[in-house]
Structures are given as C-alpha cells and as structure tokens.
Amino acid sequence: MTTHRPLACVILAAGKGTRMKSDMPKVLHRVAGRPMVGHVLAAVKALDPDHVVVVVGPGMDDVAAAVAPYPTAVQHEQRGTADAVHSAFGLLEGFSGDVVVLYGDTPLVTPDTLRAMVAARRQASDPAVVVLGMRPDDPAAYGRLILNARGGLEKIVEYLDATEDERKVGLCNAGLMAFDGARMFDLINRIGNANAKGEYYLTDVVQIARGDGMTCAVVEAAPAEVVGVNSRAELAEVEKLIQRRLRKAAMDNGATLTDPDTVTFSFDTKLGRDVIVGPHVVFAPGVVVGDRVEIKSFTHLEQVRIESGAQIGPYARLRPGAEIGPDVHIGNFVEVKNARIEAGAKVNHLTYIGDARVGAKANVGAGTITCNYDGYNKSLTDIGAGAFIGSNSSLVAPVKIGDGAIIGAGSVITTDVEADTLAVARGRQQAYSGWAKRFRERKQNEKAKKA
C-alpha cells in the first residue's frame, strides 16, 4: 500500500509585465478566453494538490480575486524569483511534502508534465530539486542545464556566464521546479544576491544543493509547452500555440474543421461527435455543441448551448443565453440572445431574436425583430409551436403569439395573438391608376422650365 505524500504548488504571479504596456497585471491577459494564470491553475488542479499558493505583488487585488479561493502571498519588492518563492513560506510553514514552483505567465504547461516532475522528485535517487528542461530549435540566450556523467543535473549556467562548450548544450532551463519540501526552505534561504542586478535567483538553488552533495534531476518538456509571455507579441504567439492544441483536440474527438487554421476556440469549448465547423468560426467562452451540428462560416458564438442536428449560419451571431434546440435552423445574419429556439424551428434570414421563446417548428421570416427593450426593461416574446411570422414583422414585447398563428408580413404586433389566428397590423394598400406616369411627366416639365 502506497502512502499519500503531500503536494503543494506555488504559482509566481507578481510580475508587473511592463513590456505588455498595460494597466492590467500580466497574468490576467487572456489566452483562449481565460486569464493566463487560470490556465496554470487548471493544470495544477488536475494534480489534486494539498496546498496551492499564488504569489502576487502589492495592490494586485484583481489577481487575488481571479485566483480565489486559493490563498495569495504578497511579494512586497521585486527582488527575484527566489524571493518570490520565499514570500510563500508563511503559508507553507511546517510543510514537508513536495513543492512544485510554476509561473503564472506560462499558460501552456500540461498536467502530464507536472506529474512527470513530481514522479521524478519521488524517484529512488531522492533529488532535492527537479528542474524542467526543454530543447528549443534555437537555444538563443536561455540558461543551459549541464548534466553530470550519471545523467543528473550538475548546474544551471546562465548564457552570459557559459563557456563556449556549455553554450553548445541544447538542453535549456524552462524555469519550473519541483522540490523536496523538507529541504527546500533551507536551500532557498541560503540563496544570495551577489550578482549584477542584486536579485535572488531561484536557479542558484541547484548549485547550493549540489554543494551539499544532494542530487538534482531534469524532466524535459516540449518547447511549445513552456513558452512564457512578456510582451503582446509573445501573447499572440501563445494564443497561436494553444489554438493549434485546441483544434487538434477537437478533430481527434470527432469534429470536422474544414479550414482549421481559421477557427478560434475557447479553453472550455465542447463539441459533440460529427460536428462540422466551417471557416472563420469563433467560439467565445461557454459554448456547448451537441452531435451532428453544422456551424457554417463567419459565425460567432458565446455562452450558447446547441442541441443535436442544428444548422447554424453562415454569418450568425449567437449571444449569451441562446439555447438552440435539436434540428433548428439559424441562418445568415441572424442574432439570437437569451432565447430558446425549440426543436425544428427555423430562423433563417436577417432576424433578431432576443429575450424570447420560439416554439417547435415555428418559422420566423426574414427581417423580423423582437422589440424586447423599451429603454428601461427587457420583456419576453413568446412564439408558439408551428407559428409563422411573416417577413419584416416587429413583435413588441411583452407579447405572445399562439400555437399555429400566422403574422402577416410587415406587421407590427403589440398585443397577444391567439392560436391559429391570422394577425395583420399594417396600413391598407391603396392604388391610384396612372398616378406614377402623371408624376413623372409633371417633374420632367418642371425640370425643363428651369433649364
């Protein structure tokens, strides 16, 4: 029987992100519809840790709110990564399990990689520190991980301090670390700041551990998984990488993307089997799509539920609260907000449905709008099953259209319509024979006299 070994995770999120040139803390910038630190927390949560501590800077109440209910520790001065970890010590007092240190601006790290780091920390060689490494195509100015003859980590060498041979090493430091908590506190307390910036660098912990005869180890991750964000350009690069991951997952799970590179997903998009997604479709957060749904090109969806067999778009906009029933047709230039469209109903052209129910197999004609807002309050439009709403109709809420009722095209409906009733609300058509010809002749004569 294996005994449970406690696990804690410390997420460093105190960076100001000055290169982002933003009033918003760096870790709150969104990737695939979620703040970067939210992605890191999701990866951490998959490990079911006993403790999670997020290190923030002074006044970062918005970050603290975003990571709640996890506790935060404040790094009062920006004095390096080791100082940031040290800020969390008060919330980890007496902890002697394993501790994983992550960064709130590295949103692509996966639970599998974190599990591999924890497993390496717990291996028989009992390393005091496990460092996450990577092998980028261009090692550039990354710190190098130098291994000893036994394959253990001997030291981390910053690029500027590396020898020519050390710079040829392709294994680079990705920043994340796993510690034996029983030894971590002492090791980090001994890190000094005798360097050009006067900062306390977490990477120095390896040298201290090795100097005490402790072993250190390396776990490797794909470079794309450990890309950090320090600028808007890097944020865009990370967005590109996560979209590639989300598109692959969607296709692996049975969806067809006819032009994958043009589809934008959110972190929580859920697609059923045999869903077809056309080009330039945007899934904002909160979208759930059932089986056999087709979403045509240039459609935007947010906080929407779509049931099986529905057809959406092209050029449709489904806003928060839209519930699209089975086999519904939502066509081009149709906007639906906070409305339930029931089974088999059709809303095919140039229509706005807001704060409404459209009953099963109802047909809403082109140019129809639900007038749901009077400048002060939103009101409900209820369209019964099998009703037919003629083109260019305005339904002034609150109003109820009964089952099977027909609304004549161009009507403005302000009172309830009973089931199976025809309602027409428009001016009576008048015809004046020859009037158009006489009008043209008169105008031509007037123009000729002026000339």
Torsion of CA 151, 154, 158, 164, to 10 degrees: -70
Find, among 391, 390, 394, the residue nearest to 372 by Cα. Answer: 394
> How many CA within 13 A on the CB side of residue 42?
13
Which string of b and e fits 313-326 if b means at least 16 CB within 10 Å? bbebbbbebbbbbb
Chain centroid to CA 334: how far?
24
Q: Tell me the catalytic residues.
A: 349
CA distance 136 to 295: 37
Bond into 285 cis (ω within 30): no
3-state SS, residue 321: coil
CB 130 within 8 A of CB 219: yes
* Residue 415 structure tokens: 């009172």
> Can you list the alpha helix ranges (DSSP code H) found in 274-416?
none
CB 7 within 8 A of CB 47: yes
* Residue 239 structure tokens: 């967005």
How many Cβ atoms from other residues are within 10 Å of residue 298's Cβ?
Answer: 17
In sequence order, what are the residues at sequence separation of 6 or more whose Cβ sits closer than 8 angstroms to the Cβ of residue 368? 347, 351, 352, 353, 389, 390, 391, 392, 393, 394, 395
CA distance 240 to 246: 10
CB 87 within 8 A of CB 75: yes
* Residue 53 structure tokens: 């501590």
Which string of b and e fits 19-48 if b means at least 16 CB within 10 Å? ebeeeebbbbbbbbbbbbbbbbbebbeebe
Backbone angles phi, psi at 118, to 5 degrees: -65, -40
> Can you list the alpha helix ranges (DSSP code H) found in 291-450?
435-450
Find, among 161, 251, 133, 154, the residue nearest to 206 by Cα. Answer: 154
CA distance 29 to 39: 11
| Whole-Å CA distances, 158 to 115, 172, 267, 417 | 27, 10, 35, 77
Location of structure tokens 């807001």: 354
